[in-house]
Structure 1
């Protein structure tokens, strides 16, 4: 039986789960509108291993959401995951954040567009078909009235994630469906991390870095 610790910190949702053979047996998460990962992540890890009645040393792998997403959130999650892998000699598995997010909806036709807020009218987004196969690469893009028109002209397009909310008044089309209240979670990482574990699809712990997509930019403080 494969036991995997999943860590998701790419957005404001701090989420941790223990998975056994692809099934979630314990989960802790908090999305209170703030980036509370630095305070919550390690207590959540302790809580899920206790709830699942395992020790960190007994898990078979650590999986982490690789991005794109919040620069600080990703750094915290990846640092914690790598630290556990080094300390307990466990393999590291990475899961694309948008791929995990896409699995929060099930559709029979059309495409799924998971998107994360990247400030102003910019989002990190990609496109999957109903079988969760990626049909367009991940982009950091400015949303306007013509965004995703090539998909909207062919059928239903399901937008979800915290980037979708600000697109409602811009992307106006009869085929546009906005799915509210969805954000990346360690729950959806369960089957994805298990499948990677079975294939031995792991990362080099020493050299693995989050997928930021864009360079981190520090905004200088205004002089008074």
Structure 2
């Protein structure tokens, strides 16, 4: 099974090739430089793996949530490649990939829940809760909310059992409004990685959760705000 995975969710840009158990990845911090870097990185990772695009079984991409511009770049790139090679696409949650990556570099976390949070700007965070049993899907609906609303949700006891170990991952955890929470450990300095998107895509692929290139859509979680931005651009 060969999967080409791409992410431009935020300030980072990464491309990964999964070929059986072998994984190769290129990752760079490329704020506002995704468009120029992405396709050369794709060519480079395929060459490194001695693989042609036609030999890929599927493409995987972060569907969001995340930066409006970043998501559009990744989705558009994957759509173009999928059309050209006539390949299916596996959309993966960027929050799930963030949690999976944090768990990958912190094996001591085990299968305990990971609350992944990305900075959504406007004093809000994108967040979801991911367990070890089904790491591709949040235990609750992925949301965008003020930090105080996230605190209320986690303290309600409906998301995780009281007193159980849980972990926090992602740059969204910098907000002071999240201080009332007490995760077992917090890692803010982590990013969405294409290799984690690829690994989660493999699980989703095995469950038949893929789409055609034309059906691929980003998940912004902030559709109303996005629509207003589009209206301002068109005026």
TM-score (norm 1): 0.86
Residue 100 of structure 1 aligns to a residue whose secondary structure is helix
Q: Distance in 2 between matches of 1:172 and 1:83?
A: 45
The answer for unaligned runs of 5 or more in structure 2 is none
Residues 176 and 122 of structure 1: is their aligned pair in 2 closer, same or farther, counting only changes over 3 Å? farther
Structure number having the greater strand percentage: 1
1:49 corresponds to which residue? 46
* 1:125-204 equivalences in 2 (<5 Å): 125-131=127-133, 132=135, 134-144=138-148, 146-147=151-152, 148-150=154-156, 151=160, 153-167=162-176, 170-175=178-183, 177-204=185-212
Q: Once the 2 structures are TM-superposed, how far is the Cα of residue 190 of structure 1 from its aligned partner?
A: 2.7
58, 61, 73: which is aligned to 2:58? Answer: 61
**In the alignment, structure 1 residue 72 sits paired with structure 2 residue 101:** no
80, 85, 97: which is aligned to 2:82? Answer: 85
Residue 191 of structure 1 aligns to a residue whose secondary structure is helix
Residues 209 and 173 of structure 1: is their aligned pair in 2 closer, same or farther, counting only changes over 3 Å? closer
1:212 corresponds to which residue? 220
Structure number having the greater helix percentage: 2
1:114 corresponds to which residue? 116
Query: 2:172, 2:188 within 8 Å by CA — same for their partners in 1?
Result: no
Q: Distance in 1 between matches of 2:112 and 2:179?
A: 16
Q: Distance in 2 between matches of 1:177 and 1:144?
A: 19
Q: Which runs of 4+ in 1 moved over 4 A?
A: none
Query: 2:64, 2:93 within 8 Å by CA — same for their partners in 1?
Result: yes
Residue 95 of structure 1 aligns to a residue whose secondary structure is strand
Query: 1:109, 1:156 within 8 Å by CA — same for their partners in 2?
Result: no
Q: Once the 2 structures are TM-superposed, how far is the Cα of residue 109 of structure 1 from its aligned partner?
A: 6.2
Q: Distance in 2 between matches of 1:173 and 1:95?
A: 27
Q: CA RMSD in A?
A: 2.4
Aligned residue pairs total 217
Q: Once the 2 structures are TM-superposed, how far is the Cα of residue 68 of structure 1 from its aligned partner?
A: 0.6
Q: Deviations over 1:3-30 (max 9, x none)?
A: 1100111111111011112541x21111
Q: Distance in 2 between matches of 1:124 and 1:41?
A: 24
Once the two structures are overlaid, the 10-residue window that deviates more, 82-91 or 156-165, is 156-165
Q: Once the 2 structures are TM-superposed, how far is the Cα of residue 211 of structure 1 from its aligned partner?
A: 0.7
Residues 130 and 18 of structure 1: is their aligned pair in 2 closer, same or farther, counting only changes over 3 Å? closer
Query: 1:23, 1:191 within 8 Å by CA — same for their partners in 2?
Result: no
1:27 corresponds to which residue? 25
TM-score (norm 2): 0.83
